[in-house]
Amino acid sequence: MKHFILFHNILLAYIISKFRKSIFNLPNYNLDTFIEFSYSWNALGIQIKPVQIKEEIKELLVMLAKIKPKFILEIGTAYRGPLFLFSRVADTNAIIISIE
């Protein structure tokens, strides 16, 4: 069991590291870039692809970017795509909670 936990932690650290590096390598920081990134990112089969239609999620993000919410509650996480996108438009000190 210890070996499985160690492997899981190493794998998780690798995926998080790959995700962070991918974000920093984006050509520019705008909604379209983040949306495309969220629909295409993949590390060892782990994805953050939203299940929403791109145009619909973009409309929501544009509205949220205008108000810079300080609190976001996402219910039904699925692939974590909207969670990532919400973090891009929320206030820098926002509290973001995701419940599966």
| Domain positions in the chain | 2-99
Its sign, for the CA torsion 53, 56, 58, 61, is negative
From CA 86, how far away is CA 74, in angstroms rounded?
A: 9
From CA 3, how far away is CA 63, in angstroms rounded?
A: 46
Please give the average per-residue pLDDT across 61-84, as a whole number: 87
What's residue 59's pLDDT?
A: 95
From CA 46, how far away is CA 32, in angstroms rounded?
A: 21
From CA 28, how far away is CA 35, in angstroms rounded?
A: 12
Q: At what angle do helices 31-40 and 81-89 cross, to 10 degrees?
A: 160
Residues 11-70 pLDDT 10s: 767 777 777 777 766 666 788 988 988 898 888 888 888 888 999 999 999 999 999 999
Q: How many CB atoms lie within 10 A of CB 58?
A: 16
What's residue 27's pLDDT?
A: 66
For the whole prediction, is pTM greater than 0.85? no
